[in-house]
Each structure stands twice: as C-alpha cells, then as structure tokens.
Structure 1
C-alpha cells in the first residue's frame, strides 16, 4: 500500500473529503530514497508575525506571507518541489511550501533532530480579513476549531499563526473545544514581524512546523522561544522580550535545542476510543473576578447574580461562597500567584472547602518522578522494544507493568513502530483496546509511513480496523489516492474479504485505479458485484433485489 506512487483520483465523494482536493491526472511523484512526506496546515489568523511597516505603522498585509517565505531557502526547497512534481499534486500550489530535507545537513548531530528523515510539506489557509487578536471573540475560536475539524483527516498537524496579546486565551479555549484530539495543534506568533532583521518569528514558525509535522503530540499547544507549552497552562508574561510566554506550574512539553527533546512523561495521553470533534457551543455567562483586600461583599454578591453561571476567582485563599454554589453557579478558584496553588490551611479556607468549591487543577498535571536521571535514561531506552515485544505476544500484564514504570506506550522502536502498530498486525484486539485506553495514538507513523490502521488493513484484522476507525483513525490522502488500484486488483482476483477490509478502513469503492477503471468495472463474480454496487444503489429497487438473489460465481 505504501510502496505505490501518488495516483489518479477523479471522483468526489462524501465518504472521503480528502479526495476532493486530488488532481484529475496521474502524477508521478515517487519520493526518493527513504524520504516520507508529512503534511501540516498553517492557519494564518493574523498577528504581528505577518505585519509590514507602512508609514512607520505596522499593519497586516494579505497574501504576502507565503511569497515571503518562498524566497527563504530555510523555509522552502524549490528543487525538491520541482523534482517531485509537488505543485502538480496539490490543488493550491501557490499556498504550498516544503521544508528542506534534513539530509542537507552535513553533521550527523543535526540530522538526529529530525524524526525518521521526514519531509514537512505545509499549506497555508489565510483568513480574510486577517484578525486582530485583541478583538478575538468566541465566534473566531469556533471558526478556527471548525477549520481544524474540516481538514483534520488531510493533515498530520496544524499550526495557527496568532497575535500574542490573546494567544494564551485562544489556546486554552481550543484545548477544551477540540475533544478527543489525536494530532498536534500549535499556536505561535512573534514579537517582531518575520520580515524584520531581528525577528523571533522565523524561529517560532520553524519550530512549530517541525514539531507539528514530526511528532504526534495530541494537544493544543503554544510554541514560543524554543519551548512548547500546554495550551491551557501558558500565559503571556512579558511584552518586551522574546521570552514572552511561560508556563509557571508546568514544565514545557518540548524544547528545541541542538536536539528536539520531548518530555513524554508530561504529554497528555488520551484514554478514549471516540473520534475527534469540535464543540463550539460556549456559554458566555462566565466571568473572571480578581479579589483584593477591601473588596466589599456587595461587590462580590452583585458579580454573582444571574445570568452569571460560572465564575473564575483569582484569590489568595479558598474563601466561602456557599450561597452561589447552592444556586448552581460553578466556581473555579485559582491563585493570583504565578506559582503554587490556593490553600485551605487557614480557617477561612476550611469554610470554603465545606462549600464544595472546585479547584482549578489540571487532570494532566506533571507527576514528579523521583527516579535518578540515569535510571530514567535506561527506562526510556528499553521500554519501547519491550513494549513492542509484549504487544507482539499479546501480553497486557507486561504492558501494564511497563506503563507503571512511567513509560509512554506511544513511543516507537528503532523503526518508529509503536506497540499499537505491532498489536494491529498481530490481531490482538485486547491489546489494542488497552493501548487506546492508555493514550496510544492511532496517528503514529513508522519510518515507512505506515499507521496502525494501514497495518491492520494489510493483515486483514477486521475487528481492529473497526475499533481504530471508531477511535478516529483514517487512511492518509496518499493511501486514499492509491486505493483505487488496490481495489481493482482485489476485484480482479475475486477477493471479497480484501474489498471489505478496505471499505471498513474508509476507502471509496468506486475510486478509479491508475488506468481510470474502478473495481466495479473489473468485477468478475456476482457476490462481488453485489458488494460493490449496494453502497450506491437506492434501497428497495429492482436492482437491489437482483443483486441479493444473484448467486456467487454467476
């Protein structure tokens, strides 16, 4: 499946939205050597990073960002684009760029920073008009979320260019709106426009693109000044420094030094088997109240009156707000300090505890590990192959033991294959269920570009394909493009089981192959004809009845 080149697709279908963007001609875009492409969608909402100076005043300039980056060799490899027919493959060539391949680096220590030698292709979606972050509203958050949802299956990661003033607010909102997220969504921007000589924008954008394309970190994050922060644990702390953001109570998820170091112990691990979705229904009757010495009870009482339904308090103790909580108002109590939490060690705080206050603690808070650094290094080196070995033999107890050691079960072995890849190949349904419940990503790719879903299709594990699809796994754009050829081959050989497994995985049965024929045109048996036509035939018609009564082999 992954060895085939990009292929023809000339039909549109609601079953696979990505097919809508495929060209109507055969493209010979075979990737050279061991290169594999990953796709990132860059949503440009506006912000300082893309502004230009006009009459000594910074203002956004539409449709200029991409062409500016195209001229920078660090952001676009024109030779690669020409050699592989990149512009012919994508319907928006004027909005698509590709980062240089790491093999262009002379020193091996720089190549290590890249994962599996993958090439990052990124496409821009620019808002018109560009937004001022200080005027960002809940409707704008919803628009960003829906654009992610619409393009979710077509890209490996997402980068959102945003103004710094309200970037932390947008990141926090999206982190709750994007439910069951399985791919990285990274917000970034800059203090100085990217066109200026001393801009932080180039490093911020490059880092965000690399992490979004090369790592499966299933969170909404903020990337700034070589650090990746959890989106709902970050705040802007400095308006005049390139170190503009910080996450006081949680260390960065990743750091960009000579090597890209990901703190996998801190990365959020999903424990759900539900597909990704965006929830845009937000309640506006929520307020933020900062308490100070001398604030009157009447002021607080007035603030809590209807239609207020939720309150975030910045306090210096838990306090007592029993009347409001009895009325059903949700109260989140947080400290005014950058570090630490509110405490109930004092008498007034104990009264607040009896009032059933909700503390604003993150479920994914870092669990400090007391293991010495040397033992952690040994654990991190041994855990991936041990976990893969346990997955191969279907040993859930061994996986549980490895997880209890603090190991992240979504980290791959030397080939990038995760335990979920192995379990999908071997058909161990219980292992797959366990791994999904403990944060394994269905979107992880090995060095050959295979996902757990493509492995399950190859080895015809129907139950596992169903479970992975339920969890949000999908075939890639390239796999959908070549699926027509695979389907034609299966139909020509009378392989109903193979057709069924591809259909379960999300392939469209009437997708044409390399020669323009579909599986339906090469079908040779009645049972295959029945299977291929039923999805496209109206119910209770003479054709439907005929297909059901045709016997195999007729």
Structure 2
C-alpha cells in the first residue's frame, strides 16, 4: 500500500449517501457522485499531504512567521499551496461489488480519470484508491501526534437513507470485514435511518476489535454554513486516534453507542440523543472519553461479519382503542417476531380479546418483545397491566430503543442455531451494551477511610513482594490510619473517596506492568479483580477505578508513559502465555499499538514466541502496516539464513509479503 507512513492511522470511509454530500437539484437536495470526495480534496483540514498549508503551520506564532516568510506563496513551483501531489498515494480497498468510482480530481491532467477494480474472488473486488491525508495532530489521551490517511469508498448509486434496507447493512458489514486491515472505519450515512443502521451493524459486526463510526449531517457540505465539516472531522479524529471497539454514532460533538441512539429532531444540529445511556465521548476544548462505558471484548474469537438478518419482524405501537384484529394482523404466520411498543413502563390495555391474540401468538412461537413508547425509561413489572403481558409470554426489552430492539430481534432470528426459547432469553441479555442491567458495585462514596487504607495496603504489599531483593528480605510497606488515642487533627490522614481512587489509579498501572514483566499471575489477578463486580452474571472486567474515569481504556489497557506499551505488549514480548491469557480475558485490546507503531503480536513474533502468537491470532490480532514493514526484514533474514522456525512464526502471525 503505497504512501503509508509509520506515523499514520489508516481509516476507510464508506460513503453510502445522505445529506452530507448532497447538492440542490430541481426537486430539492439530491446526491451527486464524486462531489464529496472532490470537496474534501480541496480542504486543507481534510487533505494536506505536503504539510504546506497555512493550517499546518499555524500551531505557533514562530511556525507561522517562518512559513509565511519562506513559503514562496507567489511561486506555484514551490508547491507551497498545492492541495495534493501530482500522484496521490493509494490504498488497497476491497468491496463486495465492482468499484467504479474513485473521486479522482478531474482537474489533474497528470492523473488517470478512473480506476477499474479487479475481481479477487467470488463477490470480492479490489482496487487501489487514491488516498487523502489530514495534517498532523495530537489529541488528549490519543496515540501521539499523527496524520490520518483515508480512502473514500463511494457507493454507486448513492442512497438517500430512507431507501436503506437490510441488504445495505449486510453490504456495509461485509466491506468492513473485507477491509479489516484498516485501523478504523467511518460510515457516511443519511440521518433519517442512521440509528437503525448503527443498531443493526452493532450486532452484525461480531467480536469487533476496532472503531466503527457512523456520521452524517443536517446541512450538506455544499453549503457554506454546515455541520458536515465538524461531524466528519470529529469522526475521523476519534477513529484515527482512539480504539473504541464498538459501533458508534458521532453527531454534534458527541460520540454515542450506536445501538443506544434515536433521531430526535429533523431541524436541530443536535439531531440525535441517547436518553438511557451517557455519550461515550464529548468533544469540546478537550476530548472527554467515558472509558468505563466502552465495551471491552473478552471472548477469544476472531472478528467476523454476520451476513444475514430476518425480514420477518415488525414493530407495533399500541394506542388507546387498538383492536384485536389490528394486533392479529401483525401476528400472521409469516411473522416471526414483533416489537411491541407499550405504554409507560410496559403497560397495555387489559381487554381479554387483545390478550388472547398476544398469548396465542406467543404460544405459536412468535417472539414478542415489549419496550416503552417513552424515549427515556425502561419496561418493568411494577404495574398489573404490565404483568399480564409477561404472563401472556411477552419478553421485557428493558430500555432498548425501538430501532435497536427491531435490529436485535432480526439478528437473533437469523441465527438458525438458536431456538425460539434461546432467542427469547437473549433478547433480555445485553449482547452489545444495548440495554441496561442492574449494577451491584457500591459507589466509591460508600467506602470508609478504613476500607480505603486496607485497599491501598493490599496494593503496596504486592509492590513489596514484586520488588523484593534476591535475598530473603521482603520489604513491608504499610499505611497506618488515625491512631484512636491521638486527638491531633493534623496527624490524621483523611480523604474523600475520589482522592482514594486517585491514589489507587496512580499505583495500579505501575503494579500491573511490574506484575506482567515478572509473569506474576497472582498480582495480575489482584489488579484485574480488585474492585471488580460482585455480581457473577456481570462481566468482571468493569472496575471501580475505571468508574472513577481515572485510567484511560481501563487498567488492563494502561500504557507505559515512555514506550506507549500496554501490559499485553510486555507479556507478549516476554512470551508469558499465562499473563497474555489473563489480560485477554480481561479485555486487553489486541490492536493497540505502542509509540513505535507495533502491536503485541509483532513483539511475540519477533521474539519467536509461537504459543503467544497463536493465542493472539485466535483472538483476532493482525500485524499492522508498520509491523509488516519490519516483518519483511525479519523474514528476508530468516530466509537467507535458513531459519525455518522464524519463518513459521511470522507466517503464523499472518505476515503478508509487500
């Protein structure tokens, strides 16, 4: 893939259509092929390959003055104001359909006017598409200063989102699977059905380990005053700098979980909201990420795209006076599932004819799921009128949105391995964070000073054990509380729960990195289970420390300040299989890269730790573009020296010749 540098994140932009790229036509706004890509090519914020624009040289007064005096702005030959080089670097992009549009600049006579895709396999086409690259930037908590190189895969024809169907969701999921070597994905989509698409994709993309963001606009990029620029730049920035391994929706400076949002307004710029779940990211002067709410993949399975959804589902909104005949029409034999939008907290009219129709359908095997018509709130059995639905066989859908409930039911019914009973059970279980389950973790404010001291002493005892000398001496580090006999207020050590959490948050990353380096599974387990959820039905990778928002990405993904390595990097480098498994089961990100651009898989392969390589590959880890460049040198040396063992390790890691 030409034109890719080591300090770049590669993002695939899948442009399906929507308002963001529309122009005013004879009958209103309409999609126009190539317009959006060509517009991005002319904007320095989206494409500045030579780092020669005013935008790239205005980070400081000194930088601007130097650029202004040396840029030679009146001489085009210097390239100071050229928006793109004569030959645009390309990225290999795959699609389930022939790629016929490239977005090449028609004004550049030195460049081909089109690119023709080649058929790589059945229903797989590939082409080298021209890439755009943003100026270098750094974001708070990101992976360092970098540029974002991206290619735009434009659909033909472009769709108004009101025309989006199940096959289009499957197409998007397939294209993400075919291009999973990219670091992240941004999907440009119309706003009318964006929440349906984000919900569906959250289920279709199984065991997702990379960032997928849907975005669009209320005002198209073609108009001077628009929200398209901010939405696209925000989505690109987050996708390029952070690993948030789930399907998200970005709009108006907020990143939401994709299956938690609904479109709330057709004319406000804040068109979307997530009433029952806080945004994952708030973008303002700072970028604030709620890492505690970001999903952590803990299943030891590779990413795959599920390519089927059932069309035999429907949504029925109850209303006063609804007849049994109307309800019965929704439960005809071809229908396999119905989302029942009920009153309030899950209530329905108590007429016997209505209940008999619902009960008969449930007995026949139709999966009926109750959700609330209220945008905020959840279905419960607090009222008698709600319990009768449950007694009839209706499944409570918690606080799922109508879009999500429909998509989830369609997804589950498409899986032939699930019985009706299993589908009903899974509708009430959070699969992608789509519904809220009760939390049994006590808030930090409930911890006493004595409990805080006991917790810290536990941490320090592990430090002492790991730091002990080669002899038999074992350092003892103990923090004492207030002496009951002392009345000197100045001698007491008191703190708030937040202060205690802050101290722990400072110690735990150091302890975890030290424990992993020593392959001390006891101390690793202590770090990963400390303050863990006491509810056995709840994923044990959610911690009080994370809830305090003090450890970015969760303690399992805490990075070393100097190298940017995570505990998984260290465990893989040293071949500590037990540590690797503990970290992966706690939600370690296999695609995380250190400051040199390397993944944990690269270090395991470089050191010849084949067992670790196999574990990481099974989890879905792949060599990054940077890894592959260095791997090529290692493979060449191994081939020259006849080191078949090393060659086998690199091939097992998925090395691709470049």
Fold match (TM-score > 0.5): yes
Q: Aligned Cα RMSD in Å?
A: 2.6
Contact 2:89 2:131 in 1 (8 A): no
Residue by residue over 1:122-173, the C-alpha shift from the partner in whole angstroms, topping out at 9 and shown as x without a partner, is: 11100011011001011111111111111012x1000000000000001101
TM-score normalised by the chain length of structure 2:
0.67
Aligned twin of 1:124: 152
Matches within 5 A, 1:364-403: 364=433, 365=436, 367=439, 370-371=443-444, 373-394=498-519, 395=521, 396-402=524-530
Matches within 5 A, 1:437-448: 437-448=585-596
- Are 2:125 and 1:97 aligned? no
Aligned twin of 1:257: 284
Aligned twin of 2:237: 210
Classify 1:248/1:380 alpha carbon distance in 2 versus 1 (closer, same or farther; 3 Å). Answer: farther
Contact 2:40 2:47 in 1 (8 A): yes
1:237 Cα offset (Å) = 0.2
Aligned twin of 2:645: 497
- Are 2:296 and 1:269 aligned? yes
- Are 2:367 and 1:330 aligned? yes
1:54 Cα offset (Å) = 3.4
1:347 Cα offset (Å) = 1.9
Q: What is the rounded CA distance, in whole Å, between the counterparts of 1:151 and 1:53 in structure 2? A: 33
Aligned twin of 1:39: 10
Determine helix, strand or coil for the equivalent of 2:638.
helix
1:338 Cα offset (Å) = 1.1
Q: What is the rounded CA distance, in whole Å, between the counterparts of 1:189 and 1:97 in structure 2? A: 19
Q: What is the rounded CA distance, in whole Å, between the counterparts of 1:440 and 1:318 in structure 2? A: 42
Determine helix, strand or coil for the equivalent of 2:315.
strand
Q: What is the rounded CA distance, in whole Å, between the counterparts of 1:191 and 1:400 in structure 2? A: 43
1:271 Cα offset (Å) = 1.9
Q: What is the rounded CA distance, in whole Å, between the counterparts of 2:514 and 2:149 in structure 1? A: 33
Q: What is the rounded CA distance, in whole Å, between the counterparts of 1:427 and 1:355 in structure 2? A: 56
1:57 Cα offset (Å) = 2.7
- Are 2:266 and 1:239 aligned? yes
Aligned twin of 2:64: none
Aligned twin of 2:487: none
* From 289, 302, 314, the counterpart of 2:341: 314
Matches within 5 A, 1:78-157: 78-80=49-51, 87-88=88-89, 90=91, 94=104, 95-102=130-137, 112=140, 114-153=142-181, 155-157=182-184
- Are 2:631 and 1:474 aligned? no
Residue by residue over 1:505-553, the C-alpha shift from the partner in whole angstroms, topping out at 9 and shown as x without a partner, is: 0124xx37xxxxxxxxxxxxxxxxxxxxxxxxxxxxxxxxxxxxxxxxx
Classify 1:344/1:89 alpha carbon distance in 2 versus 1 (closer, same or farther; 3 Å). Answer: closer
Matches within 5 A, 1:167-186: 167-186=194-213
Moved more, 399-408 or 257-266: 399-408
Determine helix, strand or coil for the equivalent of 1:479.
helix
Q: What is the rounded CA distance, in whole Å, between the counterparts of 1:163 and 1:369 in structure 2? A: 41
Contact 1:287 1:312 in 2 (8 A): yes
1:227 Cα offset (Å) = 0.5
Aligned twin of 2:394: 357
Between the two structures, name the one with larger relative contact order (CA 8 Å, sep ≥ 6). 1
Determine helix, strand or coil for the equivalent of 2:157.
coil
Contact 1:253 1:264 in 2 (8 A): yes
1:384 Cα offset (Å) = 3.2
Determine helix, strand or coil for the equivalent of 1:115.
coil
Q: What is the rounded CA distance, in whole Å, between the counterparts of 1:55 and 1:369 in structure 2? A: 60
Aligned twin of 1:286: 313
Determine helix, strand or coil for the equivalent of 1:470.
helix
Q: What is the rounded CA distance, in whole Å, between the counterparts of 2:202 and 2:33 in structure 1? A: 28
Determine helix, strand or coil for the equivalent of 1:127.
strand
Classify 1:54/1:382 alpha carbon distance in 2 versus 1 (closer, same or farther; 3 Å). Answer: farther
Contact 2:207 2:299 in 1 (8 A): yes
Q: What is the rounded CA distance, in whole Å, between the counterparts of 2:297 and 2:25 in structure 1? A: 46
1:196 Cα offset (Å) = 1.6
Give the count of matched residue pairs: 473
Determine helix, strand or coil for the equivalent of 2:615.
helix
Work out which of the two has the higher radius of gyration on C-alpha atoms and give 1 or 2. Answer: 2
- Are 2:149 and 1:76 aligned? no
Contact 1:113 1:259 in 2 (8 A): no
Long gaps (5+) in structure 2: 53-78, 93-101, 105-129, 349-354, 399-428, 445-496, 533-542, 547-553
Contact 1:274 1:472 in 2 (8 A): yes
Q: What is the rounded CA distance, in whole Å, between the counterparts of 1:400 and 1:174 in structure 2? A: 30
Q: What is the rounded CA distance, in whole Å, between the counterparts of 1:198 and 1:239 in structure 2? A: 17
1:480 Cα offset (Å) = 3.0
- Are 2:636 and 1:488 aligned? yes
Q: What is the rounded CA distance, in whole Å, between the counterparts of 1:332 and 1:413 in structure 2? A: 46
* From 598, 611, 616, the counterpart of 1:463: 611
1:255 Cα offset (Å) = 1.1
1:44 Cα offset (Å) = 0.5
Classify 1:426/1:478 alpha carbon distance in 2 versus 1 (closer, same or farther; 3 Å). Answer: closer
Contact 1:390 1:398 in 2 (8 A): no
Contact 1:490 1:499 in 2 (8 A): yes
Contact 2:599 2:624 in 1 (8 A): no
Q: What is the rounded CA distance, in whole Å, between the counterparts of 2:288 and 2:315 in structure 1? A: 36
Determine helix, strand or coil for the equivalent of 2:88.
helix
Residue by residue over 1:4-49, the C-alpha shift from the partner in whole angstroms, topping out at 9 and shown as x without a partner, is: xxxxxxxxxxxxxxxxxx46xxx8x765xxxx11100000001111
- Are 2:328 and 1:301 aligned? yes
* From 342, 355, 360, the counterpart of 2:379: 342
Moved more, 482-491 or 243-252: 482-491
Contact 1:318 1:353 in 2 (8 A): no
